[in-house]
Structure 1
Amino acid sequence: MFPTEHKSENKCFERPSLMVDAPVLLQRRTVPLQFSFHELAGKVKRLEDQKKQKASDDLCYRRFRAKILPGENQSAEDELKKEISKDMFKQMEIIGQFNLGFIITKLNSDIFMIDQHATDEKYNFEMLQQHTVLQGQKLIAPQKLHLPAVSENILIENIEIFRKNGFEFLVDEEAHVMERVKLVSLPTSKNWTFGPADIEELIFMLSDSPGVMCRPSRVRQMFASRACRKSVMIGTALSVSEMKKLLVHMGEIEHPWNCPHGRPTMRHLANLDIISKD
């Protein structure tokens, strides 16, 4: 009935023509690729060898440079602290005993010399430091200390540390400041005697390190003397198991690098890789 309008509607709904990609002919070129598992394995092995060589060079030329001389003691100790961890002592191989006084050990390519007496002395010393509770001797009558208020507070707050050092006190919280603490027991050990001077030293140490287990210098001297007497002496022949035990002990203490008297326990002798290259 309305042909013109009907024709117009058809135009409105007519979809535009879509552009379709035309096929393109590509010129391809085949290039042969040389591949060999044998060559690949060889390259991987060479890379691994280069990494090992670099690590070996670092080990040889950088880890231990200090000489075995008194003037180089600090440098040698610093190197050992940096390069030797506690678990490495268990890994060391026993080569033997030298001159009935030194243990020769090997860790990878490094050779070390260990003083058997000094290392055993340091282990025994640290065990005494950590675990010994000194026995005190009661005084006939409690002794007033008349400590300054600050020192008195330090003593009261760390009284358990004083007890482990053999000092016992009677504390009267109701008394006036500087009169709250009385000494009732002093440590004694054979020829060693202690007194107020050792208490003052311990208070001074605890003022810098509150709550830390400290020992007065004279107690340390006593422990060092005890440790020396009970340690393996120079001139004593040791079995492999006895030498191994000393090595294991070095890995169990905090500061294994010198004995209580300052003598070095361990020094680096040589590196086998450097010797073989020379």
Structure 2
Amino acid sequence: PSETLPVLRVIGQAHETYIVAEGPEGLYLIDQHAAHERVTFEFVKYRFDNGESEYQPLLEPLTVDLAPGVMTTVQEHQDDLNKVGWRFEEFGKNSLILRSVPGPLSVKVSADGAAQVLIRVLDELASGGAGDTWSHRLIATIACHASVRAGQSLSIDDCKNLVRQLEQAERPNTCPHGRPTIVRLRVNDLEREFKRR
């Protein structure tokens, strides 16, 4: 079942972590990281499901050293890893030459950081994650690392754009890990707190 958010009017940002907005039933606090993570997750998942990976070639290929035995995991899951934007080739027994990274990841982390995300994903795969739940975790990991962080200052336009994107999301109320993206403070509760009722 699809979830919906009311149309919200962005007021600003609090503590460089929460977007403050006004809606029909009160005030709304939006966790900017969780919200951006949800938006990015749905974008990457749509691309993944439709075979439309977005990737960013690296200016200089990067050698990634793997733990012993992980290369088997790479070989088993190379198609899915390619579908989200990692392009690489084997380089010896326990190394890869990384040639591109997922597009959303490329704007937030360095090539070294993207390589660390790849290693984390491969470690999870090697420890038994597989199937739909694994692809969900794969995409959620990319979304997490590609999203704005708590403590990051956003302009009012950035806040508005993020809220508009969240309003269009299929599941706007939670991030891919299940944490809430939004908390509502009802007008009645505010009036009670201010002893107006």
Q: Which runs of no fewer than 5 residues in structure 1 stay unpaired?
A: 1-80, 136-166, 168-182, 202-215
Give, in whole Å, the separation in 2 of the partners of 1:240 and 1:127: 23
Task: Report deviation, 1:128.
Answer: 0.8
Where do residues 1-278 of structure 1 align in structure 2 (5 Å cutoff)?
A: 81=3, 85-86=4-5, 88=6, 91-132=7-48, 133=51, 186-188=79-81, 189=86, 190-191=118-119, 192=121, 201=131, 216-271=132-187, 275=191, 277-278=196-197
**Deviation digits for residues 18-72 of structure 1, max 9, x if unmatched?**
xxxxxxxxxxxxxxxxxxxxxxxxxxxxxxxxxxxxxxxxxxxxxxxxxxxxxxx
Give, in whole Å, the separation in 1 of the partners of 2:14 and 2:137: 30
Secondary structure at the aligned position of 1:267 is classed as strand
Give, in whole Å, the separation in 2 of the partners of 1:115 and 1:273: 20
Task: Report deviation, 1:252.
Answer: 1.5
Q: Which amino acid aligns with 2:26?
A: D
Aligned-residue CA RMSD in angstroms?
Answer: 3.0
Give, in whole Å, the separation in 2 of the partners of 1:264 and 1:271: 20
Give, in whole Å, the separation in 1 of the partners of 2:80 and 2:52: 6
Q: Give the conservation status (yes or no) of the 8 Å contact 1:134–1:187.
A: no
Greater strand share, structure number: 2
Task: Report deviation, 1:187.
Answer: 3.3
Secondary structure at the aligned position of 2:28 is classed as strand
Give, in whole Å, the separation in 2 of the partners of 1:198 and 1:236: 32
Give, in whole Å, the separation in 1 of the partners of 2:79 and 2:129: 10
Give, in whole Å, the separation in 2 of the partners of 1:248 and 1:238: 15
The normalised TM-score by structure 2 is 0.56
Post-superposition, which runs of at least 4 consecutive aligned residues in structure 1 deviate over 3 A? 185-195
Give, in whole Å, the separation in 2 of the partners of 1:249 and 1:230: 15
Task: Report deviation, 1:110.
Answer: 0.9
**Deviation digits for residues 131-170 of structure 1, max 9, x if unmatched?**
12388xxxxxxxxxxxxxxxxxxxxxxxxxxxxxxx9xxx
Task: Report deviation, 1:272.
Answer: 6.1
Q: Which runs of no fewer than 5 residues in structure 2 stay unpaired?
A: 54-74, 87-117
The normalised TM-score by structure 1 is 0.41
Secondary structure at the aligned position of 2:153 is classed as coil
Q: Give the conservation status (yes or no) of the 8 Å contact 1:109–1:273.
A: no
Task: Report deviation, 1:108.
Answer: 3.2
Quickly say closer, same or farther: Cα 1:261–1:254, change in 2 above 3 A: same
Give the paired residue count. 129
Give, in whole Å, the separation in 2 of the partners of 1:123 and 1:101: 16
Larger Cα-atom Rg: 1
Task: Report deviation, 1:95.
Answer: 1.7
